[in-house]
Structure 1
Amino acid sequence: MILLHNISDSCGADRKKFSAIGKAMIVYGIISILLHGLVLSVPVLAGTETGEFCPTCPDWNDMDGWRAKKAAYDQEQQNAELQGQQTSLKIQNADPVPDKNANKTVQSNYSPARTGKFAEVLVPPRDVSPGDVVLDISPSATKYVEGAVNVNYEGFIGEGGQLKPISEITKLLGDAGISHNDSLVIAGECLPCGGGPSPAIFTYWLLKYLGHENVRVLDGSIDDWAAAGLNTSNVSAKRPKTEYVPELEPELLATYDFVVNGGAQIVDARPARDFGIGAIPGAVNIPYENVVDKERIKPEEDLQKVFMGLEKDRPVVVYTNVGIEASLVWFALNLSGYDARLYTWRDWLENQPKFNFELTDVEAKPNPVRSGSTTTLTASFQEKQTAT
């Protein structure tokens, strides 16, 4: 028991001695590693964290080498700065790159040059003065010229396309606060009808027919107005009611008798397909589309080519079905110096002689007929009986 005890004590002493040596060796190893890492890290301190050269981090172990690298670095930076200046100068002196959207902007704000009476009657957005009353004739607009009053042009036309009685038309204008002495600018369009200036131009004709002296047409749409930086509104303005007193200019509206006996030149302004189906005898076809370009009246020099077949010393009667589109051609003719009058195909048809007979019987002989053979049709009519 005593022997075992002594052995145990001896082993414990050896363990204590080994433990102290081991600890010393571990501490020495850690210090060696740290010193080695510090030595290896010195060159890195002369650069960035990625090992790139740092011009503000001297290499104290190799100052000569660091200075040589810094000189090379500074030269490289100067070369790069010089190259950047040359590139910038080339860009400034280079031809501008065409803007693909430039044409679109020009087209949306297309405004033909106006001269003579065209410049007097067709007013650009920026030339509308505060003293002008803007009359918007749109039937269902969602945006208006700020301060514009709205009278739907469809209210001027009765059933079947006839012009309403003058008393009803002047009441519409008076209720909207329009008087005969106002300086008017007609604006708006019928978007459900496909847009375009015909409703505004027709209203211009109507006001001239009523004897309104100071009236013009906005040369452009509400989008052109907004593009000019002018104010718009989601609602139309309201003006106090007044009385509109007309002074009719009857020569602006042709009658059936004038068309037949007045020696006028007749212009059918309907599309060619309608003209081909039927027209007033002697009429020439000048479709209303021929006087419009990008929803505006063409310049005067272009219209001269359109009207080159007409004589200025003879009156001109222009018609379409109810006269609205015909007003475009009337407007262009009037500003071009022609004595033009508006008319309608509807009035022409209504004034044609009535066929006062009715069909009573039709007979074909032979019936049926063989292919390649002929047959004779006999129709029987009797005069209509007038009610007594």
Structure 2
Amino acid sequence: MSPLITAAELAGLSGATVLDVRWRLGGAPGAAGVDDYRAGHVPGAVFCDLETDLAGPPVLETGTPGGRHPLPSAASFQQAMRRLGVSGSRPVVVYDEADSTAAARAWWTLRHFGHPDVRVLDGGLRAWVAAGSPLSTEEPVPEPGDFEARPGGMPVLDAGQAARLAADGVLLDARAAERYRGEVEPIDPVAGHIPDAVSAPTAGNVEPSGRFHRPAFLRERFNTLGVVPGVEVGAYCGSGVTAAHQVLALEVAGVPAALYVGSWSDWVTDPARPVATG
């Protein structure tokens, strides 16, 4: 089954838990996203806060591993998902505004913790509106779910594994090309990339509308970046959000891939780790 769902398919789907994961990088937890949610959302959708529901507390300030959006613990993630009405026996559909950057983090985290049926609304809320579907401002209070979080459903990388994969396989850097090259770094304290990683900005995964390119297009794109049969593949970004989008695009293309959740914000916590530019 495709990890994507169209607006028409969602409109005809019954019994699913729908999570609105709109998010703006750099804002206070939930601040902008929940405001957007309250202004209008898919009827029945519940707001999911990327900063607090889909990530653990940022630990970059302490210099310990994890980065800006580390994995939440299984216990805290299970509690958050149950509060949002998620159950293991019901499908889950996640969406954001358009390009699925934030929704992909929800998809990946739910899959990692063992949910068997999670799909992303292709094109996000814009596609829902473009299809003529209604919006709601009602904020439902869901019945608590029974989701049981069991980590290990999706492969993960730590810093050492990411370095080895960059050398022996293909490690895709999902950030904008100028951040990969080290020309700018608006967030993290060090600019550059993991040596031998390949630049693959996630903007290349989607059409201008925010919908994902067709699987054949994505397969060709990743093939030109060295993703060929028999080669192990992983992805990283600044803090594990857009890299989840890369893993989702790879899955649409039929390619399994591991995620370095800590990503660049974790990599640079150790000054002994090498940094490449250009």
Report TM bin, short chain. Answer: 0.7 to 0.9
Please give the alpha-carbon distance, in whole angstroms, between the structure 2 residues aligned to 1:136 and 1:332: 20
Query: Alignment partner for residue 180 of structure 2, among 275, 298, 313?
Result: 275
Bigger RCO of structures 1 and 2 (CA < 8 A, at least 6 apart):
2
Query: Alignment partner for residue 91 of structure 2, among 176, 183, 207?
Result: 183
Please give the alpha-carbon distance, in whole angstroms, between the structure 2 residues aligned to 1:224 and 1:149: 18
Structure 1 equivalent of residue 221 of structure 2 = 306
Alignment of 1:53-202 (within 5 A): 120-128=2-10, 129-138=13-22, 139-140=33-34, 141=37, 142-155=39-52, 156-157=54-55, 158-159=57-58, 160-189=68-97, 196-202=99-105
The secondary structure found in structure 2 opposite 1:238 is coil
Deviations 1:84-118 (A, max 9, x none): xxxxxxxxxxxxxxxxxxxxxxxxxxxxxxxxx5x
Structure 2 unaligned blocks of 5 or more: 23-32, 59-67, 183-191, 274-278
Deviations 1:211-245 (A, max 9, x none): 11111111223243234343321133221123421
The secondary structure found in structure 1 opposite 2:105 is helix
Alignment of 1:200-219 (within 5 A): 200-219=103-122
- Scaled by the length of structure 1, the TM-score of the pair is 0.56
- Scaled by the length of structure 2, the TM-score of the pair is 0.76
Percent identity (aligned): 26
Q: CA deviation at 1:298?
A: 1.1
Structure 1 unaligned blocks of 5 or more: 1-116, 190-194, 355-388
Q: Which has the larger radius of gyration?
A: 1
One-letter amino acid of the counterpart of residue 350, structure 1: T
One-letter amino acid of the counterpart of residue 269, structure 2: E
The secondary structure found in structure 2 opposite 1:323 is coil
Please give the alpha-carbon distance, in whole angstroms, between the structure 1 residues aligned to 2:199 and 2:129: 37
Pairs aligned (count): 231
Q: Give yes or no for contact 2:114–2:152 (8 Å, CA) kept in 1.
A: yes
Q: Give yes or no for contact 2:114–2:153 (8 Å, CA) kept in 1.
A: no
The secondary structure found in structure 2 opposite 1:293 is coil
Q: Give yes or no for contact 1:175–1:243 (8 Å, CA) kept in 2.
A: no
Please give the alpha-carbon distance, in whole angstroms, between the structure 2 residues aligned to 1:345 and 1:250: 23
Please give the alpha-carbon distance, in whole angstroms, between the structure 2 residues aligned to 1:297 and 1:206: 19
One-letter amino acid of the counterpart of residue 122, structure 1: L
Deviations 1:162-183 (A, max 9, x none): 2332221221111122122221
Q: Give yes or no for contact 1:134–1:147 (8 Å, CA) kept in 2.
A: yes
Structure 2 equivalent of residue 327 of structure 1 = 244
Deviations 1:331-360 (A, max 9, x none): 111222223011111222234538xxxxxx
Q: Give yes or no for contact 1:144–1:222 (8 Å, CA) kept in 2.
A: yes
The secondary structure found in structure 1 opposite 2:120 is strand
Structure 1 equivalent of residue 65 of structure 2 = none
Say whether 1:296 aligns with 2:211.
Answer: yes
